[in-house]
Chain A
Amino acid sequence: MRRQGILRVFVAGSGLTVLVCATILCTWIWTVQPVGAVVTGRVGERLTYPSPLEILSSKNAKQFYVLCNESDEVRVLDSATGTAVKAISVGHVPRGIALSPDGSRLFVTNSWDDTISVIDTGSLEVAATWKVGAEPSSVVEDRTGRYLFVANRISNDVAVLSAQTGAEIKRLAAGRGASYMAMAPDGGKVYVTHVYPNPSPHRTEPESEITVIDAQRAVVVDRIQLHGIAGVFHAAVSADGRLGVAAELHPKNLVPLAHLEHGGAFEDTLMLFGADVGNRTVEVPLDELERYAARPFDVAITPDKSHLYVTSGGSEIVTVIDVRRLLNYVQTHHAPFVQDLSASSNYVVTRIPVGRDPRGMLITDNGRKLLVANRLDDTISVIDTQTNRVGSTIRLASPSKLSVLRYGEQTFYTARYSFQGQIGCANCHIDSTFDGLEWDLEPDGFGRDIVDNRLIEDLKGTEPYKWNGGNPNLPTECGPRTEKYFWRSANYDDLTLADLVTYMLSLPLRPNRWRLPGYELSPAQERGKAIFDRAVDKFGAPIPLQNRCSYCHSGPKGTDQKSFDVGTRKLTDNSGRFDTPQLSNIALTAPYLHDGSAATLEEIWTVFNPEDKHGRTNDLTKDELNDLIEYLRTR
């Protein structure tokens, strides 16, 4: 028997009937509490789970709309009974959902299709599909019905569309990885957050922002600077418009990662903004001395502003905060607060355990209930806000079996394996990608071998791992090394590790937005490819084999899986030989080089390749380098 007491499926208690989804029209059940049934094994099938990510209420409060991230659906529930009304198919990997002000239309951003599904809430049918920017991640409509704002994660902007036709009017530059938006209650402003840090000088604190858009004029009116933050998720604004709250990660990537205690790797914080805090930003921690609120994601504020709630995906909890106590604390004490792990005792009421990877929330019944979407166990926790307890749990219809991939994904997103539950894989690999940061890991020596975090999509065939190529395979990378130098705590058993590795190797490459339809190359990309493949430089001199781009960055993923010295060694590096990184979706993953010292692709050659050891590039003009970049972006 494997992992007794750890793996559980949720089934109805005695007296209730377990309803099985037999058709695409799925059925939900209410259960008093999930009853644990031990799973003795996992199946190797590739099963599709709903994976609820966000929840909305219909205008008349009679229905809930549950955005299902993996099954590409919006599931509609009866809010009184929790029973299924309908499942509406949308695009691929839906991530954001919003209701029009009059409640007649539901907008869903399909992040991998680059589309928006417009659902008629009367017929519960998709009425239109609109094309938008790269990886749309959230959407809101302004109060007048004129504009639709769409945050695009890959193009780092907010597209302004006609709310009636979907025609794009313009793009507003936002933070890197623009992903989540909150509309002020009066409809005047839209607050936009982003999940990857904005560019900042090498080995300095990360910088992020909340981009503030005037919803009537559709212009950016402010950029609220978030110093030291990398990874900002949902924001919320109180009903009186005076308090804004954003959930965020405060990494410690510049300090050697020698141990985890005392917030050694990450702190999980909220950024307060607005009139209630003097129109400044105030960062407050969610963590405690020995417990963390790992990966805060969503924020919900009660209509009376008495409490706010924060989901923490890694810790699998909802933190309840007394807003009056919070404001009193920040108004009567001197900032900064973030270094004080005892600060949260002044405003945190309690922490409520919920399901796996809790994400979006919905406050209903005028603040009496809080619904929490637990993405990785397909449940919705219904919390009684008077008692701060989970009163019931809605189980979405989902496969009855737990697949290897699903278990691996649960392992990836939880923080339970790390010391005091501080971090999980998803802390640095946000949504199974990367974090845009450089880290100083302990075993190489303090201040030595600074390493850039790499994308983990499409990993098969890119081993070895680590920048020094020291780990031959993922079980080594994610097993003993992670246990000893990241989690600082007992790691997975062998089977869980195998499941985690299987999940990671299953991560597909997201669609490349720089490729033309049919995988044709543009003229600039063709010119860049020629440079990439060339054997002779511009002066007719042969380029040695090892000095051609295509030699090391060979094969379908752009790596020959070997290490080379390309002249990028810094004084702090223990060796000059580095693993050849894959080029998959390289356009997304700045900064570059092993230590993240190149802010852009261009800097790889213009700043860090003076002797042409990293390919023959010093004969190239600015335009030719641009062509090379254009080609690399298609990889």
Chain B
Amino acid sequence: MRGFRGIVTLISFTAVPLFAAPQPDSHVDRIAADIIVTAAPVYVPRAELRGEERFPKGAHLLLVRDGKAEPLIPEFAASADANVYFDGSRVIFSGKQKPGDPWQIWELSLKDHSLRHVLTTASDAERPLYLPAGRVVFGLRTPGGFRLDSNDDGHPLLSTPLNPTTGPGEMKLAYTRGSSFPDDVLQDGRVLFESNYPLGNGQAAEMFLVYPDGSGVESYRCDHGVARWAGEQSSSGDVVFTHGDGLARFTSPLAHEVRIAAPPGQYAGSIAEAPSGEWLVSVRQPAGMHYVLKLWKPGTSTMRTELAESTQDLVEPVLVAPRTMPTRFPSGLHPWDYANLLALDARLSRDGVLKGTPARVRLEAQDADGKAFIMGTAPVEQDGSFFIQVPGDRPLRISLLDAKGSVLRQEHGWFWSRGGEQRICVGCHTGPERSSDNRVPAVLLRTTTPVALTAVQPASSAHRVASGGR
């Protein structure tokens, strides 16, 4: 049940600091902004990707001002995941009013301290992030893990619906199995989220991108690592994230990650960038200790502690300050329940040269139980192009077959196309660095009607694909 939005007035902030920050180095200035941080007795990294609780013993948001921390929402049983609105006037977070409540999305006005219940869900709704145009993206707990979702944030700026098929309101943004959990909203308007690679059936944490209408899902980069998560875009445009224990970044000029030479430690990701250019990071040194907040100037070898507590992990720091609003994305989805997918040259891939000539493309879909079904095949032209109509909003996987029907190459994981989406792929797993050739794909010279692979298949063994594919 969604849609309830109550307003609760926060009576007062407690003035009693729960934690005392250690004295910083006397010659170093503090960050010129308040900080909100999640404090938890136990923080379990990447638990969200297993659909588990990140804060199994609860958590509270702290407001850190002038080195002193105090609870931000003391009357709540739990609070976490602060995200400050672009003008710095309010904070959206996940919270529990009472201990038995699910995590819900709330908003705190920093002007009058009023509280607003933004969204009511039957299950946990976590890590809310503001989108432009009065929307919010968050992770919704489902039986299969967290799922990327979007909804109005109660401050709609535009009447234009993101999706003509659903109109304003709730919108599911991810359609593969497994957890998908929001990390950040990039300046170009896309949602950065973490899931497991290969998408839909993998085990290694990885970062992906999707437009705020659920279209255009793709890996951020295709030099896939073993555990990338908690990405955050910095003012330079780079995305800084945790890879293993350390920090790394993606930067616009490069197709691969760049490791960041940060002091050793286990980093919890989600860095905050101070006006000085320093980074506020959550790190534990050595492993096994609690995560503390440290201020680090990239390029240097030392950090200074901003806030620490002997019994609490301090993670997900954010600055209470205005920030640049990302670009609003205008959805161009058509009012269809299917999508059109055009591959320009399926032979191209980072996986190397095909060991044969692709003759057909096979589409598989998954049902609600995760069973894979063959939806059909379509011809691949001599130039490697194919044009198919696929079911919208379902996990899909593509395989290239040779003339004998043998699989030449199969997608590592699953993807989806939104209903009404028209998508072009340069190749099959070519990576975001590969731009298209400028030529009319042969398939469009032959026909502009996609091969319809949208019919729902019966659950017969003849169409079922063995687990993991062939």
Chain A residues within 8 Å of B, Cβ to Cβ: 203-205, 228, 250-256, 258-259, 261-264, 267, 285, 288-291, 338-342, 344-345, 348, 419-420, 440, 442-443, 445-448, 480, 483-485, 487-491, 572
Contacts and interface: CB of A to CB of B under 8 A. Distances in A.
Contact of A263 (B189, B254, B342, B435): B435
A258 B344 CA distance: 12
14 contacts: A258-B422, A259-B216, A290-B188, A290-B237, A339-B436, A340-B435, A341-B435, A342-B255, A342-B433, A420-B188, A443-B334, A483-B330, A488-B330, A490-B189
A256 B327 contact: no
A443 B253 CA distance: 31
Contacts of A340: 433-435
Contacts of A264: 424, 435-436
B432 interface: yes
A255 B437 CA distance: 8
B330 A291 contact: no
Can you list the 6 inter-chain pairs with the closest CB atoms, starting with the nearest? A263-B435, A447-B444, A345-B253, A490-B328, A447-B448, A342-B255
A259 B417 CA distance: 14
Contact of A442 (B332, B434, B445, B448): B332
B16 interface: no
B410 to A, nearest CB: 22
A572 B188 contact: no
A262 B435 CA distance: 5
A348 B327 CA distance: 26
A348 B252 CA distance: 12
A342 B254 CA distance: 5
Given A255-B424, A258-B422, A291-B252, A339 B434 contact: yes
Given A261-B216, A261-B432, A348-B253, A489 B188 contact: yes
A446 B328 CA distance: 25
B323 interface: no
B423 interface: yes
Contacts of B379: none
A448 B436 contact: no
B213 to A, nearest CB: 11
A254 B448 contact: no
B455 to A, nearest CB: 21
Contacts of A288: 252-253
Contacts of B439: 204-205, 254-255
Highest count of chain B CB atoms <10 Å: which of A264, A267, A446:
A446
B426 interface: yes
Contact of A344 (B189, B253, B441): B253
A255 B327 contact: no
B329 A490 contact: yes
A603 B387 CA distance: 32
Given A291-B252, A490-B330, 7 more contacts: A261-B216, A262-B433, A262-B434, A264-B436, A267-B435, A339-B435, A339-B436
Interface string B322-344: 00000111111010000010101
A339 B348 CA distance: 12
Judged by DSSP, the binding face of B is loop
Contacts of A228: 438
Contacts of B214: none
B128 interface: no
B139 interface: no
A62 B6 CA distance: 71
A342 B448 contact: no
A256 B433 CA distance: 19
B368 interface: no
A301 B327 CA distance: 36
A340 B450 CA distance: 28
A140 B351 CA distance: 51
Nearest to B332: A484
Contacts of B332: 442-443, 484-485, 488
B182 to A, nearest CB: 19
A341 B434 contact: yes
A289 B252 contact: yes
Contacts of A487: 330
Contacts of B444: 256, 446-447
A518 B448 CA distance: 51
A254 B422 CA distance: 16
A480 B158 CA distance: 13
B71 interface: no
Nearest to B421: A258
Contacts of B422: 256, 258, 442, 446
Nearest to B331: A484
B269 interface: no
Interface in B411-440: 422-424, 426, 432-440
A212 B12 CA distance: 78
A259 B438 contact: no
Highest count of chain A CB atoms <10 Å: which of B254, B437, B438:
B438
B436 A252 contact: yes
B436 to A, nearest CB: 5
A51 B332 CA distance: 37
A108 to B, nearest CB: 36
Contacts of B317: none
A606 to B, nearest CB: 24
A256 B255 CA distance: 24
A53 B16 CA distance: 63
Contacts of A419: 188-189, 327
A258 B448 contact: no
Contacts of A572: 448
Contacts of B387: 446
B253 A342 contact: yes
B432 A289 contact: yes
B200 interface: no
B132 interface: yes
B430 to A, nearest CB: 9
A433 B426 CA distance: 31
Interface string B206-223: 000000000010000000
Contacts of A252: 435-436, 438
A448 B237 CA distance: 37
Contacts of A445: 448
Nearest to A417: B327
Highest count of chain A CB atoms <10 Å: which of B216, B422, B424:
B424
B448 A345 contact: no
Nearest to A418: B327
Nearest to A343: B433
Given A255-B438, A255-B439, A489 B327 contact: yes
Contact of B435 (A258, A338, A443): A338
A254 B424 CA distance: 13
B255 A289 contact: yes
A392 B190 CA distance: 36
A338 B426 CA distance: 14
A616 B96 CA distance: 78
Given A258-B424, A446-B422, A251 B438 contact: yes
Contacts of B340: 446
B441 A484 contact: no
B434 to A, nearest CB: 6
Contacts of B329: 488-490
Contacts of B435: 252, 262-264, 267, 285, 338-341
B448 A448 contact: yes
Contact of A253 (B189, B252, B342, B438): B438
A290 B221 CA distance: 11
Contacts of A483: 330
Nearest to B239: A290
Contacts of A255: 344, 424, 436-441
A490 B253 contact: no
Highest count of chain B CB atoms <10 Å: which of A203, A344, A345:
A345
A615 to B, nearest CB: 29
A291 B186 CA distance: 13
A415 to B, nearest CB: 13
B107 to A, nearest CB: 23
A259 B132 CA distance: 20
Interface in B305-364: 327-332, 334, 340, 342, 344
